[in-house]
Amino acid sequence: MKGLKSSSPVKKKRTQRDYNMGFKLSVVSQVEKGEMTYKQAQRAYGIQGRSTVLVWLRKHGNLGWSNPVTTMPRSKETPAQKIKRLERELSDERLKNEILNMAIDISDNEHGTSIRKKVLPQTIWRIRQEKQVSLSRSCRLFGISRQAVYQSRQRAECRLAELSKIRPLVENIRMQMPRLGTRKLYYLLKSDFDKEGIKVGRDALFDYLRREQLLIKPKKNYTKTTNSRHWLRKYPNLLKGRKAVRPQEVLVSDITYIKSRERTHYLSLVTDAFSRKIMGYHLSDDMAAEDVVKALKMAVRKRKDQKELIHHSDRGLQYCSAVYQTELTKNQITPSMTDGYDCYQNALAERINGILKTEFLIEKCNNRKDLEKLIKQSVDTYNNLRPHLALKYQTPNFVHNKTLEASLKGST
């Protein structure tokens, strides 16, 4: 809330172990976009060391950072252009004020919103501070008492002090999960809110994050990586009308592309359909079956029972190849594939790809080595820390282990 004074929370000093690859790339991206200088980023996130961010920029940045720019570029507007722009903005603001005043009156009179009653005291106080307008004069113009303004001010200060505790809690979680949604944030922070005495619901948290510009904007993209038109044998879809009821009953697989500044890489994923846990993954420079099958081998090594297991995928060449099918047969896993070219029949695997790419693998790495490190950290965070809506806000690893233990005890 602008105009209100509050003591900002003390930033906690952190060690290098607290900064994972995703956090480093996020800070580098903000600096390179001009949102802040590297020194401002250092202070804003409480990063230890005088030149830690500069080291990250030199290592992971896409610009030359041998001579960093610490000041923002000056405007290229001429005085005449500036005057014309300001005159145009002033005219627009006058028209905007007339429209807003009329909209507020209509809202108060026809819909009973009481905007003027709730907002006016705060506005008058802000005008008093910013424009040096007499409080008595403003109160007289709008027909409200000075006491109402002071009481509104006191309530706002108390609320601001209460809400100021939220931002550090959110930033602490988003160091590891930078694009975690608000509903999952609220679930993870609810106990902290109760402990700190912060009275805020889910919708109020949405409003607070929106004011602080901390809401996550979704990203959408689609690139086809599957070639289904080939002569190799395809297998029927065994998941029609069937839903996994236990861990290690159905594995779903897919391949997605990820770019570094060196080249385009391909990430193969194998996910447990019941728990949404990523069981196996492998990053390669092409989509050869010999590389894709390594993700399956990792998933098989984590298998803890020998019950019936189905492997579901699209009709890509890699999954139909002899190398991949031999590995499935060797481990007594039944193959299942989508019908035709319908990607929605492998929607769960596509969804896991999307979560990793839009919530974790956000910024470009310089090379494959850095990308492999980022993927490893991201998969670990996804499996162990990120709550999943379909799992009633539990983590995939928790649901996988808990249900699997119960299943193994029941079988014995």
Q: What is the pLDDT of residue 71?
A: 54
What pLDDT, in 10s, does the model give residues 38-51?
A: 888 888 887 877 78
Q: Across the chain, what does the average pLDDT equal?
A: 82
The residue extents of the domains of the chain are 16-60, 90-144, 164-211, 250-411
- Alpha-carbon distance 22 to 175, whole Å? 8
Residue 218 has pLDDT above 90, yes or no: no
- Alpha-carbon distance 346 to 312, whole Å? 8
Residue 118 has pLDDT above 80, yes or no: no
What pLDDT, in 10s, does the model give residues 225-267?
A: 555 554 466 788 888 888 888 999 999 999 999 999 999 999 9
SS3 271: strand
- Alpha-carbon distance 11 to 366, whole Å? 30
What pLDDT, in 10s, does the model give residues 298-307?
A: 999 998 888 8
Question: What percentage of the chain exceeds 90 in pLDDT?
Answer: 27
Query: Residue 358 burial by CB count (10 A; 0-12/13-18/19+): exposed, middle or buried?
Result: middle
Q: 250-411: what fold?
A: Nucleotidyltransferase; domain 5 (3.30.420)
* Residues 366, 373 contacting (CB under 8 angstroms): no
CA distances to 324, 355, 377, 407 from 294, rounded to whole Å, are 9, 21, 18, 27
Model pTM score: 0.65
Q: What is the largest CA-CA distance in the chain?
A: 86
What pLDDT, in 10s, does the model give residues 52-94?
A: 888 888 888 887 776 655 555 556 778 888 898 899 999 988 8
- Alpha-carbon distance 32 to 25, whole Å? 10
Q: What is the pLDDT of residue 231?
A: 42
